[in-house]
Structure 1
Amino acid sequence: MKRKAALILTVAMLAGPVAADPAADYKEFCADCHGAERLGGVGPALIPETLKRMRGPRIAEVISEGRVATQMPAFAQEMDAIRIEELAGWLKTPLEGTPEWGEAEIMASRVLDEDYVAVDAPVWDSDPMNITLAVETGDHHVSVLDGDTFEVLDRFETPFAVHGGPKFSPDGRYVFIMSRDGWVQKYDIWALKQVGRVRAGLNSRNIAMSGDGQWLAVANYLPNTLTILSTDDLSVAEVHEVKGKDGTPSRVSAVYQAPPRESFVLALKDVPEIWEVSYSKHPDPGLFSGGLAHDWKIEGPVAQDTPFPIRKITTPDYLDDFFFDQSYEYVMGASRKGDGGQVIDLVIGHKVADLELPGMPHLGSGITWKLGDTTVMATPHLKDGVVSVIDMKTWETVKQIKTEGPGFFMRSHENSPYVWVDVFFGPNKDLMHVIDKQSLEIVKTLRPAPGKTVAHVEFTRDGSHALVSVWEDDGAVIVYDAQTLEEVRRLPMRKPSGKYNVWNKITFSEGTSH
């Protein structure tokens, strides 16, 4: 056997290195996360349209070393440098044909369940405002929990790879769930039944619900669009092609609603702009007519036949994520590659302050609370073990709280004296820090599942209990007494990621990211 193996090795050496086969390597190492057709799945699409800001050498580096603060692993042990370079170059080649995905294609994908029947009242006896949804990414399901008893009322299948937080209708009856490959699902919590599904994009980031509950905005990486759906029947209200003022196409990094402004606000991935899209029946003519285009740095005259006029605001840097103040007048934004942030005043359409935010802040997970006579915002960082606390009057850093590693999520509640923040990345991923809101000191560090990833906290409606995820396929949702910090119950689940309480989300409860 040894002689035979040596002979095989000698023949292989004489034949020279095996030619790289990037298509085969993609199928083996990439397709599970990024889709068989490179159009995205758990991970983003890998085609020139979505890799436009990354050159070949940078792509090769990511393949080889992985990507900090993401689920992208390193493949240097599986492929040599030549194979990685070939794969990086192959990913920059266009597809034979990138699918069109406009209104016609979206509507053709729409399916409304024939057996769905609306009910007049919930089919269960729980508090409808204290329902909590737990997203289980291990097998693509959502568990519907009674927030008082923590019993599972239903467990339903979702589209593949749910991404971004689900959004509830203002009355808490319906929930809308989006997957990374663009599917939007409508589910009736009262009836415990799916209403229907529609594919609003091919590769998507997140969704936002309008304050009046009529519209759902879908942020797309592919194609470069913002899709607006009717929440009533999932039909297309409008598809906005996303291009900057200079005509550069852009992916949409994130979309959130700004209820007092009756608008959606978008961060763009590939141009230094943020967009405000009005869903008001009577938008402010000063903002959306184009009359103040020079002073406000907004788009010129807007077509009058659209119910969703757009305002484009130039920013000093790209924004991958952002956070609002309580008045929704200010946007605090940051680039994933930057070491700081910026504050944009939506009223005047200009940057008004810089933020000290090192270590790739995760502003989408930021929260606020009262500290003395001011309000502060706090955010974890995806690269550094620190939580930054910012005074929202002065925009100055109040404190940088050292943690045992980079975090991803943080949560609190107006009835809780504590902030909870995970240590999502690195060797201490099994830790959860509990921080006193007033002293800004870590008062306790929990390790509920040694060696396993512990992440994401959600509170019950009254803030009496905190729900924590053991983010593993054989994981669990752990229920804590939010005052004593003692474990109350453990619910086995398949890689539970986010939990979302109806009341906290529809009321924009303090301590809940929006």
Structure 2
Amino acid sequence: MALVVAALGGCQSVASRDDFIPASDIRGTGDLGLVVERAAGSVLVVDTTQRSVLGRVEGLGDLSHASVVYSRDARYGYVFGRDGGLTKVDLLTRSIVNRVIQSGNSIGGAISQDGRYVAVSNYEPGGVKVFDSKTLDLVLNVPATYTRNDGEPDQSKTVGLVDAPGHQFVFSLFDAGEIWTLDMSGEDPEITRYKAGKAPYDALITPDGRYYIAGLFGEDGLSLLDLWNHEQGVTEILPNYGKGEQQLPVYKMPHLEGWAIADGRAFVPAVGHHQVLVADMEDWSLMDRIPVQGQPVFVMASPDNRQIWVSFAHPENDVVQVIDSRSREIIRTLEPGEAVLHMEFTPRGEEVWVSARDSNRVTVYSTRTLEPVATLSAKNPSGIFFTSRAHTLGL
């Protein structure tokens, strides 16, 4: 017995007193996030438990259309800037780990299922570039070339880049009217091309990773790729939602990443209409049209799927409307400030953070009472990205 006790005692002495770290200096990242300050070229590191700002990281370039993905351990945020910058930010030290300028104009990105690769979608010169997530070294360049109607080769803007199961990336070619999959699972990456509708401008992937859906600027309807049955190619859904109606001038394209999936239904922003469309996900038929006060930009479901929060394009962009997903009726109109740009739910959905660019603030609302519970100052805030995204497909 004495030998057993001695052995156990030896196992316990794994750290010397010199290695001790005070508990006050240790924290997780599960309740952290980044708020983009678009005009200042900086991001705020925020704490969603305390509803507080921990610090600011500066020097990230042009963030006029910025987005963020996270490493698997949720310590590092990868910030995609409009100037082609890809910046790796450490949320714990609140510092820039690395930064590369990888193109002339980029429009978002994704991180692979296994966390090894970060891919960036580019407008100039077009195509997609894939980087090592640890070092930001270039791994692969995908030019996204196609043949124009006049027979000449060209390079397309790429949009709607998401990660997908099987270590894949999926993205759309705006100029070519195509959807491509990029399989990074083997030693040699594989690209598969699919013909899509006219001018896909953004896309989403459903939470289970099965359906990739691209919105179309050049026509009514949406392009759907079933990744479980990809041999069927791209199919068209909701083809006639705007038929016979005069489309309004489009001031800002909807952001489809935030499409709401709730109770077997998809809640979709209608391009050029003051409507949120409701589609049955069994057959992707149009079930309903919900009138709203302006052109929707974000249509986002709360984590419990009970509420649909809708933000709008200019000039009606100072309000947010909340829809009950069961009755499909508007239950509240909120006024978070001037030029609302983004919304983000806390991981379990008890609160939602809303940025108001021209009011220089982020307002935190309770999803139970629909009343504000906190306000944080920020320099022209836009995108809000919490680390819970690290464990969610397509975000």
TM-score grouping bracket, smaller chain normalisation: 0.7 to 0.9
- Alignment of 1:165 with 2:67, yes or no, is yes
Q: 1:432 to 1:255 in 2, by over 3 A?
A: closer
Contact preservation (8 Å) 2:223, 2:234: yes
What is the CA-CA distance between 1:387 and the residue it aligns to?
0.9
Deviations along 1:86-127, one digit per CA (max 9) or x if unpaired, are: xxxxxxxxxxxxxxxxxxxxxxxxxxxxxxxxxx99985555
**Which runs of structure 2 are paired with 1:300-319 in the superposition (5 Å)?**
307-319=188-200
* Pairwise CA RMSD: 2.4
SS in 1 for 2:30: helix
Counterpart in 2 of 1:132?
Answer: 33
Given that 1:381 and 1:387 are in contact with CA atoms closer than 8 Å, whether structure 2 keeps it comes out as yes
The farther-off stretch of 316-325 and 361-370 is: 361-370
Partner of 1:506: 390
**Superposition deviation, residue 258 in structure 1:** 3.5
Question: Which of 1 and 2 has greater Rg?
Answer: 1
Change (3 A) 1:354 1:255: closer
In 2 relative to 1, CA 261–312 (structure 1 residues): closer, same or farther, beyond 3 Å?
A: same
Q: Secondary structure at the match of 1:393?
A: coil
Cα distance change, pair 122–399 in 1 and its aligned pair in 2 (3 A): farther
Q: Is the 8 A contact 1:250 1:269 kept in 2?
A: no
Q: 2:261–2:305: 8 Å Cα contact kept in structure 1?
A: no
Separation (CA, whole Å) in 2 of partners of 1:183 and 1:121: 36
Separation in structure 2 between the aligned mates of residue 349 and residue 250 of structure 1, nearest angstrom? 26
Q: Residues 327-406 of structure 1 correspond to what in structure 2 (within 5 A)?
A: 327-346=208-227, 347-356=230-239, 357-358=241-242, 362=254, 364-371=256-263, 375-406=264-295
Aligned length, in residue pairs:
360
The 1:431/1:124 distance shift into structure 2, 3 A limit, reads farther
How far off its partner does 1:363 sit? Answer: 5.5
Match of 1:186 among 75, 88, 105: 88
The sequence identity of aligned pairs, in percent, is 26
Distance 1:470 1:240 in 2: 36
Structure 2: give runs of 5+ residues left out of the alignment: 1-20
| Map of 1:258 onto structure 2 | 163
Aligned residues of 1:224 and 1:251 also touching (Cα < 8 A): yes
Deviation (angstroms), 1:507: 2.6
Equivalent position of 1:461 in the other structure: 347
Unaligned runs of 5+ in 1: 1-119, 282-305
**CA distance, structure 2, for counterparts of residue 463 and residue 265 of structure 1:** 28
SS of corresponding position for 1:261: coil
Matched with 1:420 is 309
Larger strand fraction of residues: 2
Mapped to 2, the partners of 1:494 and 1:128 lie a distance apart of 23
Q: Distance in 1 between matches of 2:39 and 2:179?
A: 34
Q: Which secondary structure state, in structure 2, belongs to the residue aligned with residue 467 of structure 1?
A: strand
Corresponding residue for residue 46 of structure 1: none
Q: CA deviation at 1:337?
A: 3.0
Of the three residues 107, 112, 118, the one matched with 1:210 is: 112
In the other structure, the counterpart of 1:275 is 180
How much does 1:228 deviate? Answer: 1.0
Greater fraction of residues in helix: 1
Report the CA distance between 1:244 and its aligned residue: 2.2
Mapped partners of 2:209, 2:189: distance in 1: 19
Q: What's the secondary structure of 2:165's corresponding residue?
A: helix
Q: 1:247 to 1:376 in 2, by over 3 A?
A: farther
Per-residue Cα deviation, 1:302-329 (whole angstroms, up to 9, x for no partner): xxxx632211112243322222234433
Q: Which residue identity lines up with residue 506 of structure 1 in the other structure?
A: A
TM-score (norm 1): 0.65
- Residue 471 of structure 1 is matched in structure 2 by 357
Cα gap change, 1:329/1:479 in structure 2, threshold over 3 Å: closer, same or farther?
Answer: closer
Alignment of 1:490-505 (within 5 A): 490-503=375-388, 505=389
